[in-house]
Amino acid sequence: MTNRSEFTDVLQSRDPCASNGIVINIDPIDPEPTPIQKEFICENTYQHYEHHGNSEGFKTLTAFLCLMLSAFLNFFLLTVIHDVVPREPLPDLTFMIIPQQRWAWSVGDVLSTVSSIVAFTIIFLHHQRWIVLRRTFILGAIMYGLRAVILGVTFLPPSFHNRDEICQPQVNRTAMYGMEIATRFLTYVITLGLTSGQDKILCGDLMFSGHTVVLTIMYFVQLQYTPRGLVILRYIAAPITFLGIGALVVSGGHYTMDVLIAYWLTSHVFWSYHQIFEMKKEDRPQAPLSRLWWFWLCYWFESDVSDGKLINKWSWPLEGPQKMHSIMNRINLKLQ
């Protein structure tokens, strides 16, 4: 006989308001809703979705703009810091043990790209994709905003031992300096900060590692929002993440402390965010985590999200073809 939990899983995987949906009564005491009751429930459900649809899109766009602002601020600071930082590298235990391998930087870029593709695929297949996407943007904005502050106050020398072969030459502040800054900035905006294909790069954006922030957020997104039936994916994501982080250090592109601090900060912000915004709304302002500096910045973004952890179900993000919706329904039944 099918048990209660299996009925619950099936109930959560179906939309009773859909034209081909079903209603399962798991409590024999309660009668099945009448057609009039079903119509009332469905009408109110769709009105709720319609009411929050525009708000969710606007909030997601705002979160994306916040991320872009933080990222562009990082790019701009790098274009200026490059001509300010000292040139003699600091001692690092990893560099004393393992000779720097420049090819490893490309490995880090590739692995961060692969991890991002997997994570965003999970996001767009998630049935609450706008909420997950917005959270990803906000977390990235918080981390890159914090990184911009640190970059602007403390200047670390490049970690490359052969820095003259890798880093662009520093220039004096002349009448053409503004044009040089603009050229550098546009280059980094167009390439999104990926420098593996450039002969010489700007140096100085070290504390803390932006690549590690991306790798860590993408890894945690896969942990948090993957259906439990895809647990194998989590074991694949872990080596991709940590091999990518290790490659950044082995390449000489970052000091060991850059990636360790980046991972530590990102993990604390990511899990603190989810812990507090999975609480009941009325409990959030009184929670100890509400004293964090970014809490009230994010409170508005989560105001319309239901209490508790999101259910990790997949749905086809487009209206058609209808066959894909049927495939997703079957996949959900297997993955839950």
Q: Point out the residues that are catalytic.
A: 211, 254, 258
User: What tokens were used for 228?
Assistant: 């439990």
Do the Cβ atoms of 208 and 258 come closer than 8 Å?
A: yes
Helix (H, G, I), strand (E, B), or coil: what is residue 32? coil
The whole-angstrom separation of Cα 303 and Cα 241 is 32
Nearest of 172, 161, 190 to residue 75 by alpha carbon: 190
Helix (H, G, I), strand (E, B), or coil: what is residue 227? coil
Alpha helices in 159-254 (DSSP H): 163-166, 177-191, 210-225, 231-250
Amino acid at site 108: G
Helices and strands, number each (H, E), in the chain: 12, 0
Report the half-sphere exposure of 196 (CA within 13 A, side-chain side): 18
- Give the Cβ contact number of residue 154 at 10 Å: 11
The whole-angstrom separation of Cα 75 and Cα 275 is 31
Q: How far is CA 152 from CA 50, 59, 72, in A?
A: 43, 29, 13
Nearest of 159, 147, 154 to residue 216 by alpha carbon: 147
Q: Tell me the angle at which helices 103-125 and 129-153 cross, rounded to the nearest 10 degrees.
A: 150
Do the Cβ atoms of 165 and 91 come closer than 8 Å?
A: no
Do the Cβ atoms of 212 and 243 come closer than 8 Å?
A: no
Helix (H, G, I), strand (E, B), or coil: what is residue 215? helix
Whether the ω angle into residue 321 lies within 30 degrees of 0, i.e. cis, is yes
